[in-house]
Structures are given as structure tokens and as C-alpha cells.
Amino acid sequence: MAAVESVGEDGVRRRDFIYVATGAFAAVGGGAAAWSLVNQMNPSADVLALASIEVDLASVQTGQAIKVSWRGKPVFIRNLTPAEIQAANATPISELRDPQTLGERTKEGKQNWLVTLGVCTHLGCVPLGAAEGEVRGDYNGYFCPCHGSHYDTAARIRKGPAPTNLEVPEYAFKSDTLVQIG
């Protein structure tokens, strides 16, 4: 005996409604699953909170460097001495693997303040040279002991496997002693 389907006055079967309801339920469920997968790739709240930071440089003496954290990465801020500035400016650009002048890596009028990410461009290690007493390498800048990359006083790669200079993040001076990174 065959089942008899009931057809309403407008020609819509009960099965048609079940198909539409099932499809709508699946679409909403799929959308919710897709949203959660996409949303998990957004930066976390602690990263968003550090989208930009302000650093007061008033206590950083000439020749001294500090490390701060920005977006989960170390940032080196160095107050270059006149001798370090002179050494960086005296280096012929033709000798550099990633040619950049000190002026291109610093802000106009603030050439003594060098702000770079403290992440070696070879494999992402943290170079030495920012803290007191750390090895600064053959060029008196930064040294990555993991694979032997040497950076000069302007954080430019001079020797070792690193392909490029230490990255200069986006930054701006808000006053003579206050810098905003990011």
C-alpha cells in the first residue's frame, strides 16, 4: 500500500516545507560554524591592546638601549652616541647587504634615536646588544648568537646569514622624549 501525500490548497506538500526548513537550519548552522572559524583568526584582545604603545625616553642616557614589548615582539630603542652615529654614517652603502643609511632608519632631527624590532631577520631569534654587558658583535651593534649574524650601530646586517637589516617599525615622536610605536 503506497503512502498518500497530502497536498494543500496552494499545491505545497508537507515534504516541501520539511526540505526548506532543513535547508535553512543547515545554512544557519554552517554560517555559525564558518563565523567561529574565521573569528578565531582575529588578533586576541591583549594583542589589540598593544596595537600602539608610548615609551618615555627621558631616562635613556646617550649610549644606552632599552627593550620594550610591542605586539608580542621585542623592540630595541637605542640612544646612539656621536661616535656610533659617525661610524654608521661613515660606512659606505656599497658594503651593505641591505643598503640603508642611518638617516633612512631614523627620524629627521632625531638621528640619535634608533628604534628597531629586536627580531633577527634570519630565523626570528632575539639578538644581543641592547642590555648592559651583552655581546654587541663585530660592528658594535647587535649580535645574534644562534647563527652568528652581526649588525652595526644602525642595526644593519654586516656579517652572517641574516638577509636584511633589523626592521624599523612604524613610529613617531609625540614630544622630545615620548615616542609612539605602531
> With pLDDT > 70 as the criterion, what percentage of the chain qualifies?
90
Give pLDDT, residue 8. 59
Q: The pTM is what? A: 0.70
Task: Quote the mean pLDDT of the chain.
Answer: 86
Give pLDDT, residue 72. 83
Give residue 139's pLDDT band: very low, low, confident or very high (50, 70, 90). Answer: confident
Which grid cell sits at 173?
615622536
Q: Which residues are tagged catalytic?
A: 147
Confidence check: pLDDT of 3 > 70: no
Give pLDDT, residue 38. 86
Please write the tens of the pLDDT for every residue from 58-86: 999 998 999 998 888 899 999 999 999 99
Give pLDDT, residue 75. 93
- 46 versus 91: the higher-pLDDT residue is 91
- What is the three-class DSSP state of 71? coil
Give residue 41's pLDDT band: very low, low, confident or very high (50, 70, 90). Answer: confident
Report yes or no: 167 and 115 within 8 Å, Cβ to Cβ. no
